[in-house]
Chains A and B, each alone.
Chain A
Amino acid sequence: MKKLSLLLLLLTVQTITIFAQTKISGTVKNQKGTGLASVNISVADSYDGGTTDNNGYYSFNTNEKGQTSLVFSILGYTILEKDIIIAGDTLTVNAVLKEDTQELEAVVVTAGSFEASDKKRAVTVLSTLDVLTTGGANADITASLKTLPGAQQLGDQEGLAVRGGSTYETKQYIDGTLVSKPYYTGQPNVAQRGRFSPTLFKGTVFSTGGYSALYGQALSSALILESVDIPAMSQAGFSLSDVFLGADFQHVANNRKSSWGVSAGYTNLSPYFNMVKQRDYYYTMPEYYNGDANFRIKTKSGGILKYYTTLSSSKIGVELSNIDFDNYKNNMDIKNTNWYNNISLREYLKNGWKMNLGLSYSYNVDKFHQQVYDLNGNPATLLSPVLDSIYNYNIKTRQNFAQAKAVFEKSFTGNNALRFGTEYWHENSRNNYKLYNITLEDNLLAMFAETDVHLMAKLAVKLGARAEYSSVIDRWNIAPRASLAYKTGTYSQVSAAYGMFYQKPENIQLLFASNLHYQQASHYILNYNYSSLGQTMRIEGFYKTYDNLVKTVPNYNNNGSGYARGTEIYWRDKRSFQRFDYWVSYSYVDTKRDYMNYPEKLQPNFAANHTATLVVKSFFIKLKTGFNITYSFASGRPYYNLMKNNGNNNYHIADRGKTRNYNDLGFSLNWLVNWFGSNGVVVASVTNVLGQKQVYGYNYSANGNIKRPIMPTADRFFFIGIFLNWGVDRTQDIIDGRY
Chain B
Amino acid sequence: MKILFFTIALICTLTVSAQQPDKYTQAMYANMAKVDSAKTVREKLELSNTFERIAKAEKDKWQPYYYAAMLQILRTYEMKGNETQNIDEVLNKADNLLISAEVISPNNSEILCLQSMATSARIPVDYMTRGAQYGQQASEILKKAIKADPSNPRAYLLMGQTTFYTPEFIGGGKDKAKPLIEKSLELFETFKPSSTLDPVWGKPMAQLLLKQYN
Contact = CB atoms under 8 A, between A and B. Distances in A.
A619 B84 contact: no
Given A621-B167, A672-B169, A737-B146, A46 B57 contact: yes
Interface of B is mostly: helix
Most buried by B among A118, A533, A621: A533
Given A727-B171, A735-B180, A1 B9 contact: yes
B92 to A, nearest CB: 6
Interface string B143-185: 1001100100000100100010001111100001001100100
Given A532-B85, A574-B128, A581-B128, A735 B50 contact: no
Interface in B15-68: 23, 27, 45-46, 49-50, 52-54, 56-57
Interface stretch (A121-129, A290-298, A448-456, A645-653): A121-129
Given A533-B125, A533-B126, A731-B163, A737 B50 contact: no
Nearest to A43: B53
A390 to B, nearest CB: 51
A47 B57 contact: yes
A731 B126 contact: no
A533 B92 CA distance: 15
A71 B57 CA distance: 11
Given A4-B9, A47-B54, A574-B126, A40 B170 contact: no
B96 A735 contact: no
Interface residues of A, number: 43
A6 to B, nearest CB: 13
A674 B150 contact: no
Contacts of A50: 46, 49
Nearest to A119: B133
Contact of A739 (B50, B143, B167): B143
A47 B50 contact: yes
A735 B183 contact: yes
Interface in A525-539: 532-534
B107 interface: no
Nearest to A4: B9
Interface in B182-213: 183
A71 B53 CA distance: 10
A20 interface: no
B112 to A, nearest CB: 14
B197 to A, nearest CB: 14
B21 to A, nearest CB: 14
B105 interface: no
Contacts of A727: 171
Interface in A640-691: 672-674, 679
B88 interface: yes
A415 to B, nearest CB: 16
A619 B128 contact: yes
B7 interface: no
Nearest to B58: A47
A675 to B, nearest CB: 10
A734 B167 contact: no
Contacts, number: 96
Given A129-B129, A533-B126, A737-B146, A732 B53 contact: no
A75 B146 contact: no
B53 A47 contact: yes
B89 interface: yes
Nearest to A127: B129
B126 A534 contact: yes
A51 B159 contact: no
A672 B168 CA distance: 10
Contacts of B133: 118
Contact of A734 (B89, B96, B129, B143): B143
Interface string A253-271: 0001000000000000000
B85 A533 contact: yes
Contacts of A42: 52-53, 56-57
Contacts of A621: 167
A148 B8 CA distance: 76
Interface of A is mostly: loop
A40 B53 contact: yes
A450 B143 CA distance: 40
Contacts of B87: 533
A79 to B, nearest CB: 10
A729 interface: yes
Interface string A713-733: 000000000000001010110
A8 to B, nearest CB: 9
A47 B67 CA distance: 15
Contacts of A71: 56
Nearest to B137: A232
Nearest to B46: A51
B179 A732 contact: yes
Given A51-B49, A124-B129, A673-B169, A45 B57 contact: yes
B127 to A, nearest CB: 9
Interface in A241-260: 256
Contacts of B130: 118
A48 interface: yes
Given A533-B126, A574-B128, A735-B183, A47 B146 contact: no
Given A127-B129, A232-B136, A729 B171 contact: yes
A580 to B, nearest CB: 11
Contacts of B125: 533-534
A49 interface: yes
Given A47-B50, A49-B50, A232-B136, A737 B150 contact: yes
Nearest to A54: B42
A651 to B, nearest CB: 50
A4 B8 CA distance: 13
A121 B88 contact: yes
Contacts of A127: 129
Contacts of B128: 129, 574, 581, 619
13 contacts: A4-B9, A4-B13, A40-B52, A42-B53, A45-B57, A47-B27, A75-B89, A574-B126, A581-B128, A679-B169, A729-B171, A732-B179, A734-B146
7 A-B pairs with least C-beta separation: A672-B169, A40-B49, A42-B53, A51-B49, A49-B53, A51-B46, A75-B93
Interface of B: 9, 13, 23, 27, 45-46, 49-50, 52-54, 56-57, 84-85, 87-89, 92-93, 96, 122, 125-126, 128-130, 132-133, 136, 140, 143, 146-147, 150, 156, 159, 163, 167-171, 176, 179-180, 183
Given A38-B49, A40-B53, 12 more contacts: A4-B13, A46-B53, A47-B27, A47-B53, A75-B92, A256-B140, A532-B85, A533-B84, A624-B169, A734-B159, A735-B183, A739-B146
